[in-house]
Chains A and B, each alone.
Chain A
Amino acid sequence: MAYDATRKMEIEIIVEKISDSGKKIALPDEALDIVKLAGIDVPDHILVKSPGEAMEASAEIGFPLVMKTASTEAIHKSEAGGVVLGIQGVQEVEENYNNIMANLKRETPNVQISGILLQKQIPEATHLIVGGLHDEQFGPVVMFGMGGVLVELFKDVSFRIAPVTKVEALEMIREIKAYPALSGYRGSKALDIEQIVKTVIIISDLITNISTIKEVELNPLLAYEKDVMAVDAKVILR
């Protein structure tokens, strides 16, 4: 297993807290905390609920940073004007906090907003997706593929029944059509396949071992020549 019993317990505590509050979907910071505890690198982040909190938190995280709407309801954040990238200073944090809230009030008036997630902005890279879910018939399943907003359009993904071995995780990665682009295509450098394999195994173990999690997903998982990092995570409970 990619994480020990203590970490498993810490994850269970977060999961319990979420379900005690009557929610089925974790807030973005909770989801990121869960996958981080499972062993996945994520950028520094803080969930804030007021412009003042936002300004304070931004000093702690550092710049540039990203501000994203946090809600447990399904919304298309970007389309609703709920995401701002490349924020360079405290002043901008305050302005954008108010802008985002105004946008959402206008675009999605009925959606309940839990706050705004401030997250350290990291360099662009290849977008991958790694997900896990509990199938009614076959139990835990893990998915790997090309991430981003077009994932449902291209469906360049592979599936395995979890838990997967290292060999199976590598097979999953090699199986997608875009694999040549990951392994070094026409002069581009290969991505960190070893870290991608590790990530697939972590998600596979997470969905297998924490039975209260129904779905978990890293999208996108940014993959570099060295290292990978999950920028967004979703966790849905049973």
Chain B
Amino acid sequence: MYLDKFFNPQSIAIIGATEDPQNITSTIIQNLFEMGFKGRVLPVNPHHDKVFGLKCYSSLLDIKEKIDLSVIAISSSHVIEILEQHIGSGIKNSIIISGGFAEIGNKGEAIEENVKKICRENGIRVIGPNCLGVLDNYSNFSTFFLPWSKVKRPSKGYLSILSQSGSYSISMLDMLSLEGIGVSKLVSYGNRADVGESELIEYLTDDESTKVIGIYMESVDDGRRFIRASSRCSREKHMVVLKVGREDSGVDAARSHTGAIAGKYEVYKAAFKKSGIVEVDNLEEFIDACKVLSMQKPARGNKVLVLTNGGGFGVSVSDMCGSMDLDVAKTPSEIKESLSKHFPEYFILNNPIDLTGSSGDEDFGTVLETAFVDNDYFDAAIVIPLMPPHTMTERVVDIISQSAEKSGKPVVVCTISGEYTKKVKELFEIKGLPVFPSPGRAVKAMSVLVDRGGMHGI
């Protein structure tokens, strides 16, 4: 595929390469070493003969071998000259990390326009400028200039991120690592002089290692193309978007109420809906949505079983479900009858089911088997096992995860983080059950699965 060389280049030229730790190229090269990148790395810099032991070329035109991709991290005032060398050396793909383009105003805009013109006329594709570029966990390739010692690289997985913001990209990677969510690709495309999210979505639609796509968006590159690409993509893959920059309509000439109310953001919302994309409101929700969609399947309906050994959490989770259109439907009488044979009278069997502090591991299994596995009334379950009672042990992890798997329906877990509970969280997540540290986040994550279930596609 035509964007492949951005993700899996066999040879890359790094423009302005140096060992100087103050210069970002040194981190880019060291990161590549650390990741075990298998392609050829060709430093270009007239001031050096060697960079990190690699032969350094004074110009792109001196390199005889074929170069799949250039990485440009020099002052914007020299970028045009370098791009002109691309024409002679036949390089068709470039990632321009440098800032100093449209984002700084008139002078930079003029350079960026020139970049676009040269690229258009010579068939050169560009990611950036003013960006971090690409991370591909499958080809062990990245153009990131932040050291992996300070940003943890997530493990190999199935989530791909597209972001206009570099700082968000980095924070997302760190947060995803903490949550143990595997990543396939990340593209930070900055000013988007050429390649933008619509084309990247088209690319990721056919990428086997991408199953969930998360997008951080300030503005769209091409609205209709974005809807077309996303509608097709979301039939097979989950898509999440965080839209920032929700300014009001700038259309002051509009004389209809429709024009006045239709802020740009309202139209974006409508576009996401049309495209089958789940929209979230902030960074935390974004990570949670990517996590839950990576780990669980969408819900086929909105009837949610809430199961806990802590009454207060049952009530608060139910309240929040109500405000997000999740139905904490009353437990059907046949389920209640059969449960009452197992439990003392003071267990509360109306949904939310409260097993109280005197229950233990096995009781969670009994409820889930009866009300969720053997009976198809509920579409999904939020389980809140609070760990402090002595009757609660790590065995509850196996019990809950086995029932969840048997049910074939989505389950999310909420536990309130303490030191001991943190260990239990990790055990749950090894078993594939996503854990959220507060009722609000667990319910929001469940509502993502329900929303997604209501869309076309999967």
**A interface residues, Cβ below 8 angstroms from B:** 25, 74, 129, 131-133, 135-139, 141, 143, 145, 151-152, 155, 157, 159-161, 215-217, 219, 234, 236
Please state if A131 and B258 are interface contacts (CB–CB under 8 Å): yes
Question: Is B254 part of the binding interface, using a Cβ–Cβ cutoff of 8 Å?
Answer: yes
Q: Mark B200-225, 1 if CB is under 8 A from A, else 0.
A: 00000000000000000001101110
Please state if A139 and B224 are interface contacts (CB–CB under 8 Å): yes
Contact for A160 among B223, B256, B258, B270, CB less than 8 A? B270
Question: Is B64 part of the binding interface, using a Cβ–Cβ cutoff of 8 Å?
Answer: no
Contact for B267 among A129, A141, A151, A215, CB less than 8 A? A141
Please state if B223 and A215 are interface contacts (CB–CB under 8 Å): no
Write out the residue numbers on chain B whose beta carbons fall within 8 Å of the beta carbon of A219. 256-257
Given contacts A137-B267, A138-B270, A141-B267, contact A152 B257 (CB under 8 A): yes
Write out the residue numbers on chain A whose beta carbons fall within 8 Å of the beta carbon of B258. 129, 131-133, 143, 215, 217
Please state if B257 and A161 are interface contacts (CB–CB under 8 Å): no
State A133–B227 Cα separation when bound (angstroms): 17
Expressed in whole angstroms, the minimum distance between the Cβ of B59 and any Cβ of chain A is 41
4 interchain residue pairs of minimum CB distance: A131-B258, A137-B223, A138-B223, A159-B270
Contact for B270 among A25, A141, A216, CB less than 8 A? A141
Question: Is B123 part of the binding interface, using a Cβ–Cβ cutoff of 8 Å?
Answer: no
Please state if B224 and A138 are interface contacts (CB–CB under 8 Å): yes
Expressed in whole angstroms, the minimum distance between the Cβ of B442 and any Cβ of chain A is 25
Given contacts A139-B224, A161-B271, contact A152 B262 (CB under 8 A): no
Please state if A152 and B259 are interface contacts (CB–CB under 8 Å): no
A-B contact count (CB 8 A): 82
State A133–B259 Cα separation when bound (angstroms): 7
State A173–B270 Cα separation when bound (angstroms): 14
Please state if A159 and B266 are interface contacts (CB–CB under 8 Å): yes
Write out the residue numbers on chain A whose beta carbons fall within 8 Å of the beta carbon of B227. 138, 161
List, sorted by A's number, 11 A–B pairs whose CB atoms are closer than 8 Å: A25-B255, A133-B262, A137-B267, A152-B260, A159-B267, A161-B227, A161-B270, A161-B274, A215-B255, A219-B257, A236-B256
Question: Is B78 part of the binding interface, using a Cβ–Cβ cutoff of 8 Å?
Answer: no
Please state if A217 and B262 are interface contacts (CB–CB under 8 Å): no
- Looking at chain A's contact residues, the main secondary structure is strand
Interface residues on B, range: 20 to 34
Question: Is B80 part of the binding interface, using a Cβ–Cβ cutoff of 8 Å?
Answer: no
State A236–B259 Cα separation when bound (angstroms): 10
Expressed in whole angstroms, the minimum distance between the Cβ of A18 and any Cβ of chain B is 14
Expressed in whole angstroms, the minimum distance between the Cβ of B261 and any Cβ of chain A is 6
Question: Which of B264, B267, B269: most chain A Cβ within 10 A?
Answer: B267
Closest to B270 in A: A159
Write out the residue numbers on chain B whose beta carbons fall within 8 Å of the beta carbon of A135. 223, 262, 264, 267
Please state if B223 and A159 are interface contacts (CB–CB under 8 Å): no
State A157–B270 Cα separation when bound (angstroms): 12
Question: Is B273 part of the binding interface, using a Cβ–Cβ cutoff of 8 Å?
Answer: yes
Please state if A137 and B261 are interface contacts (CB–CB under 8 Å): no
Please state if A143 and B223 are interface contacts (CB–CB under 8 Å): no
Expressed in whole angstroms, the minimum distance between the Cβ of A40 and any Cβ of chain B is 15
Please state if A152 and B223 are interface contacts (CB–CB under 8 Å): no
Please state if B261 and A155 are interface contacts (CB–CB under 8 Å): yes
Given contacts A159-B262, A160-B273, A160-B274, contact A138 B267 (CB under 8 A): yes
Contact for B261 among A157, A161, A216, CB less than 8 A? A157
Write out the residue numbers on chain B whose beta carbons fall within 8 Å of the beta carbon of A141. 262, 267, 270
Beyond known contacts A131-B256, A160-B270: 14 more, CB 8 A cutoff: A129-B258, A131-B259, A133-B254, A137-B267, A138-B223, A138-B268, A138-B270, A141-B270, A160-B273, A161-B227, A215-B254, A215-B256, A216-B256, A217-B258
